[in-house]
Structure 1
Amino acid sequence: MPKDISIPISSQLNRISLFLPIFLFCLISDQSTKLWAQKVLSGGEIVELFGGHLRLSYIENPYGFLGILTHLPAGIREFLLLGGVTLALALSCWFCFYRRTIAGKALVFWAMLLAGGFSNLLDRLIQEIGVVDFISFSWGSSHTGQCNLADIYILLGGFCLGFLLARKI
Structure 2
Amino acid sequence: MSDTIEVSFKPKYFTAKKLVPLILALLVIILDQLTKIIVVKNIPLYGLGASFFDGFFRIIHVNNPGIAFSIGQGWSIAVRSILFRAVPLIVLIVVLGVYMRNDDFSPLQRWSISGIAGGGFGNLIDRFFRSEGVVDFLDFKWFGIEKSSFKFLRWERWPTFNIADAAVVVCGILLIISFVIAMKKSQNKAGEE
TM-score range, shorter chain: 0.7 to 0.9
Q: In structure 2, what is the equivalent of residue 42 of structure 1?
A: 44
Q: In structure 2, what is the equivalent of residue 117 of structure 1?
A: 120
Higher normalized strand content (fraction of residues): 1
Larger radius of gyration: 2
CA-atom RMSD in angstroms: 1.9
TM-score by length of 1: 0.86
Q: Return the alpha-carbon distance in structure 2 between the equivalents of residues 48 and 100 of structure 1.
A: 46
Provide the secondary structure at the position in 1 that maps to 2:127: helix
Provide the secondary structure at the position in 2 that maps to 1:143: coil
Q: In structure 1, what is the equivalent of residue 56 of structure 2?
A: 53
Unaligned stretches of 5+ residues in structure 1: 1-8
Report whether the alignment pairs 1:93 with 2:96: yes
Map 1:1-169 → 2, pairs under 5 A: 10=12, 12-42=14-44, 44-141=47-144, 142-169=156-183
Amino acid at match of 2:12: S
Higher normalized helix content (fraction of residues): 1
Give the direction of change, closer, same or farther, for the CA distance of 1:132–1:20 in structure 2 (3 Å limit): same
TM-score by length of 2: 0.76
Unaligned stretches of 5+ residues in structure 2: 1-10, 145-155, 184-193
Aligned length: 161
Q: Tell me if the contact between 2:13 and 2:101 (Cα under 8 Å) persists in the aligned partners.
A: no
Q: Which has the higher contact order (CA 8 A, sep 6+)?
A: 1
Q: Return the alpha-carbon distance in structure 2 between the equivalents of residues 134 and 168 of structure 1.
A: 36
Shift >4 Å, 4+ stretches: none
